[in-house]
A = this chain, B = another copy of it.
Amino acid sequence: MNPADDHNLHARLMAGAAPDSPLYKEVKRLLTQTIQAGEWKPGTAIPSERQLSARFHVAVGTLRKAVDELVQERILIRQQGRGTFVSAHNRDRMMFHFFHIQREDGDKPAPDVEMLSFKTGRADDEEAARLGIGVGDRVFRIANVLSLAGDRIIFDRISIAKALFPGMTAAQFKNRPSTIYHLYQSAFGITVVRSAERLRAVRADPEVAQLLDVAKGAPLLEIRRVALTFHDQPVEYRRSLVDTEHHEYFSDLAKS
């Protein structure tokens, strides 16, 4: 068979295909779509590469190239001999990919989260811009204090669109068995796949100073994170204030 003909054939068959897009990109799009549609649930195995290559009428190598990219984006996880799995949000994943604070000696304890408040409100300019919603749209605002090895180190303010998390309750948030992103995934079907963070140094205002037990005006590290799901759609806007007296933020770029 002529590979070019095959390419064109499928390009025509696949709805929404970009013109001249490589076949493996189309396959990747179909895989992503199938995951988003819920046909394969987080934590479960997708069909084998041989089965999928038959289903999409492509060679195994082409299928593998599509899966390769999704594995790199941490949407899929390969395990030799076992299968390929839709990645689920658990504590390990959160710690590895979304929690960038460690003790100055390099030790990286998991944080204890204590919820301070859970409120509804209307998006201000910044929330609207970061979440891609309209000013005045309804949002949930959750405030937390995170402790590392018993010490209160981080003050977190989370903003999420009510439309994306319909019916979320304070109890649901407070009593979640695992991480916050696990809650988003398991209860609302929203998978956070990556985040973008911007950092600056600020002075502690009186309330936060008391909360974190630092001097008023002490320098704190402010992290503003937008968490994104598929297609870079924003899901959560989070402002964190970190006491970096004995802790630090690490950024190990370009390795993973």
Contacts and interface: CB of A to CB of B under 8 A. Distances in A.
A186 to B, nearest CB: 21
B195 A253 contact: yes
A253 to B, nearest CB: 7
A221 B250 contact: no
Given A201-B202, A201-B244, A252 B196 contact: yes
Interface residues of A, number: 32
Contacts of A57: none
A199 B197 contact: no
A196 B255 CA distance: 9
Contact of A194 (B195, B203, B254): B254
Nearest to A98: B253
Contacts of A250: 196-199
Contact of A219 (B97, B203, B248, B251): B203
A18 to B, nearest CB: 18
A73 interface: yes
Nearest to A196: B252
Interface string A219-252: 1111000000000000000000010100111111
Contacts of A200: 221, 244, 247-249
A21 interface: no
Contact of A97 (B97, B199, B254): B254
B203 A253 contact: no
A232 to B, nearest CB: 9
A74 B253 contact: no
Interface centre among A201, A217, A249 (most CB of B within 10 A): A201
B201 A221 contact: yes
Given A200-B244, A201-B219, A219-B201, A194 B253 contact: yes
Interface in A181-223: 193-203, 217, 219-222
A251 B97 contact: no
A87 to B, nearest CB: 12
Nearest to A244: B200
A78 to B, nearest CB: 15
A256 interface: yes
Interface of A: 73-74, 97, 100, 193-203, 217, 219-222, 242, 244, 247-256
11 contacts: A97-B253, A97-B254, A195-B254, A196-B250, A196-B251, A196-B253, A196-B255, A200-B247, A201-B221, A201-B222, A219-B220
